[in-house]
Chain A
């Protein structure tokens, strides 16, 4: 009874979230709805007894993928109003495509038959009295450990390939040398700045960011000093 209620609750929220991901005007809201949707899908997995998949969904999709989406959406400078311009024009065509898909789904539903032992196969993910985490682990790390390790090597190659083909060590880039930063003395001071008053008016020295001079013309020590002051004022 409670499980049934929980199922319908999770499912309803999941569908509502999915709708909002597509329809909400603000892309950041879309991503947040997506995260909520992931949590509800994880809840459904839990109800089905697949606790490992539920946790993986939360950790991988919410923890990594969705947060990455959020960063990308916030950082990319996309004019979403412009993207929506053609909506009116393309809506009829989209509706036709969606309608055909829906009809096809209806036809599939009409002729669909569950196989006889589907009811037994469903919702019985635990083989032989171990939790499904153990069962999955046995499959991945015992039965298919060979293929699993090769997959790991393939991913390593992909990472190396990306670095080999794209990483360029440009000369003249100013790297942050943490040892130098920590070793300097007498240049860092902490000042309390009343909020609402610009640091420039208060006379706390922080040189305005100058337009970046060409690397060849600037003397090394001079530029370095300015950078230090900038950091100091900031803290």
Chain B
């Protein structure tokens, strides 16, 4: 039993338990210390992930390869940056409780289990361990009606998605006779025709995972939950769990179901098209910037799925590069949103950004970088993300996807550029409160990454390529 292979997860779980005990015993408020300890635990898990060997453990339920390392590092980074954003916000909103970082830690374990899942059961357990803390985090501001509504809505629809996933998994198990990904791949490569039961099962599994990444037509919960949940929680929702769910979808579709590509490709193409169009047009009329970001994330997921639909080494590499860039530019944008606070009150309107270019030039510059990047303007990182999914789509002849992708990108540029226009050309309505230090750190880090990634893209591209080789070789 090679249990040591799962050392990152084990270490993170044990640290979460220790931090929980250490946080609950003192009678005073321990949220700051617990957050710091949680950041340390995430750092430890990140280091262990880097040092992790390759192979499979626990009877083939757990697999570690360079794909899992790449995605786990992204998920851990997302969780850590989300925690840093929440540190000051929670205190100011009066919801600073020590359970918050621990729930984030447990959700991170769930993400890591998902990314390393090599079995339908491990997949489901990881997904639940991710989802349950997210439901609680969405409703963490329990005295706010909107947060409670967000949590309840997310919980009910999330449970429905879990049910779909289980139903699909049971169909696949019933028709293929195994839940292990490697043996599923063997079974499907041997069979001449795929039975209808397996196809229905795959579609159910895809639907459930599309719910988790809020792809159209399973996106209905996203704007309400993003708007209602506390802003740092929304930042976390929009970044790390999406990375984990996209990783899972990639591993499932490229690995065990790699030989049934004809069955699921059309589904992914359709979902990708709908998501890109929806993300572009529905965001046009939004006044609330959190709702805007919700639709924006739907559009970005559409682009990511384009890479998955195209498939192959270059398509999947595009998925990984896009997720890495999306994670950092998204967290950076949310850092600005977290810093939007005037006279102690948190603000969410796009109009509240008016005149930021004069009142806080540094933050306005960072926000402009993120908005240009999201719109896909070169030389920002977001441009390369779109480039690496559009190029394979054109090479492989997915013209519809590529054309719709470019057009929706043009439409979405309107609302990204409107934010910049509001910041630089509208009359100031007053300065924001002083930025907390942790938010400044996140802003600077993600801003530098987004703005200057074009100078050093090689490490990310190389890591993504070796990750894709690992997953395709296994499948």
- A residues at B contact (CB < 8 Å): 142-147, 149-151, 153-154, 156-158, 160-161, 163-165
Contacts and interface: CB of A to CB of B under 8 A. Distances in A.
B62 A164 contact: no
A143 B57 CA distance: 11
Contacts of A147: 61, 121-122, 125
A161 B122 contact: no
Interface in B228-243: none
B122 A160 contact: no
Interface in B108-133: 109-110, 113, 121-122, 125-126, 128-129, 132-133
Contacts of B151: 165
A164 B6 CA distance: 29
B106 A153 contact: yes
B103 A150 contact: no
A157 B136 contact: yes
Given A146-B58, A161-B133, A156 B113 contact: no
29 contacts: A142-B1, A143-B59, A144-B121, A145-B58, A146-B6, A147-B61, A147-B122, A147-B125, A149-B13, A150-B109, A150-B113, A150-B122, A150-B125, A150-B129, A153-B13, A153-B110, A154-B125, A154-B128, A154-B129, A156-B17, A156-B106, A157-B106, A160-B106, A161-B103, A161-B132, A164-B97, A164-B103, A165-B136, A165-B139
A86 to B, nearest CB: 30
A165 B142 CA distance: 6
B363 interface: no
A181 B121 CA distance: 52
A158 B99 CA distance: 12
B295 interface: no
B13 to A, nearest CB: 6
B30 to A, nearest CB: 14
Interface residues of B, number: 32
A164 B99 contact: yes
A66 to B, nearest CB: 28
B208 interface: no
Given A149-B13, A150-B113, A160 B99 contact: yes
A157 B58 contact: no
Contacts of A153: 13, 106, 109-110, 129
B361 to A, nearest CB: 39
Interface of A is mostly: helix
B61 A157 contact: no
A148 to B, nearest CB: 9
B102 interface: yes
B103 A157 contact: yes
Nearest to B133: A157
Interface of B: 1, 6, 13, 17, 20, 57-59, 61-62, 97, 99, 102-103, 106, 109-110, 113, 121-122, 125-126, 128-129, 132-133, 135-136, 139-140, 142, 151
A146 B129 CA distance: 13
A163 B103 CA distance: 12
A156 B142 CA distance: 20
B103 A160 contact: yes
A144 B180 CA distance: 13
A163 B99 contact: yes
A157 B132 contact: yes
Contacts of B126: 150
B136 A164 contact: yes
B102 A160 contact: yes
Contacts of B121: 144, 147
A149 B1 CA distance: 15
A156 B19 CA distance: 14
Given A146-B58, A161-B133, A151 B125 contact: yes
Given A160-B102, A161-B135, 16 more contacts: A144-B61, A146-B6, A146-B61, A146-B122, A147-B125, A149-B13, A150-B110, A150-B125, A153-B106, A153-B110, A154-B125, A161-B132, A161-B133, A164-B136, A164-B140, A165-B151
A146 B135 CA distance: 23
Nearest to B142: A165
Sort A-B residue pairs by CB-CB distance and give the 5 closest, nearest first.
A161-B136, A146-B58, A150-B125, A157-B132, A164-B99
A160 B136 contact: yes
A178 to B, nearest CB: 15
A144 B58 CA distance: 7
A146 B103 contact: no
Contacts of B135: 161
B122 A154 contact: no
A40 to B, nearest CB: 32
A135 to B, nearest CB: 16
Contacts of B59: 143
A145 B110 CA distance: 16
B99 A154 contact: no
Contacts of B97: 164
A41 to B, nearest CB: 27
Nearest to B106: A157
B474 to A, nearest CB: 19
B132 A158 contact: yes
Contacts of A165: 136, 139, 142, 151
Contacts of A142: 1
Nearest to A149: B13
A154 B132 contact: yes
A156 B24 CA distance: 14
